[in-house]
Amino acid sequence: MTALLADDRAVLVMAHPDDEVLWASSLLAGVGRVVLAYEALPGRPDITAGRRAALARFPRPVESLGLTESAAFGAAAWPEPVETAEGLAVARRPGTMPGFEPAAYRAGFATLVARLRPLLAGARTVITHAPWGEYGHEDHVQLHRAVAALRAEQGFALFVPAYASARSLPLMQRHLGRLGPPTPPLPTDRALAETLRGLYRETGCWTWVDDHAWPETEVFYPVLPGPAAPAPPGRSFPATFVTLPATRPPAPPPGLATRLRRRISRLREPGRR
């Protein structure tokens, strides 16, 4: 099974720059191609520029779709989100990112399918985000659905990483019946992981915790065709549990009105002139 994942016709497809090393470092050097979907993050020109700079210096060939995120993180009703054909049902909620547009998220599914179709033609295996989005990210879930739709057309084997969090666990449980036997544990590539973390931090677009510790190994599940079904009783599912950081992606910087309010507040402090 692991031969399917380290093959010239294996393609790793991830959403944001840094996802590839967070959730699939063990495969990163061995797959034939790496494809990343998003570059621009609305309201964060620093993140956007940093991602482009990092991709230009990536230590192996990488292909970017150059898409703009919809800023959908936190827009689903976690921990029990509603699944849709395009990914998850999303809406503006307390804590959603400024600039988020539900319509842009929904439209993103068709864009991903159209852009990925020629890139995945001829692939033997595609590794992408899990249907629960690892720790629970709307973009990850949508990208999984886009790749799964193309699997139905093109017939490649589909694998997903076995990372989850308290936020995503209920959604993961809905999909356990679609997972085949996991791969043997694969050693994470610590040297490459540290190289890429350093690159992303240097360019200002590392969006996970600074002191993230990679596990010794990680496993991947094949996703079986067909709808989700209850998992067989008594079956175990090896997984790596992660704790969700306070912000992912980083919250946009305060707007002008917020900065003015803070400035006025400081001027009103006793002893300030």
Predicted local confidence at residue 89, as pLDDT = 98
Chain segment 1-49, per-residue pLDDT in tens: 676 787 899 999 999 999 999 999 999 999 999 999 999 999 899 999 9
* Domains along the chain with CATH numbers: 2-267 (3.40.50)
Q: What angle do CA 76, 237, 190 make, to 5 degrees?
A: 85
DSSP state for residue 212 in the 8-state scheme: -
More confident residue, 209 or 255: 209
pLDDT over 90 percentage in the chain: 78
Cα-to-chain-centroid distance, residue 94: 22
**pLDDT band for position 218 (cuts 50, 70, 90):** very high
Q: Which residue type sits at 222?
A: P
DSSP-H helix ranges across the chain: 19-28, 45-56, 102-120, 138-154, 169-175, 190-202, 256-267
At 65 the three-state DSSP class reads strand
What residues contact 160, with CB distance under 8 A and at least 6 apart?
A: 127, 128, 129, 130, 131, 144, 179, 220, 221, 223
Predicted local confidence at residue 264, as pLDDT = 40
What mean pLDDT, rounded, does the chain reach?
A: 89
- In the predicted structure, residue 99 carries a pLDDT above the cut 60: yes
Predicted local confidence at residue 246, as pLDDT = 60
Taking residue 229's Cβ as centre, other Cβ atoms within 10 Å add up to 12
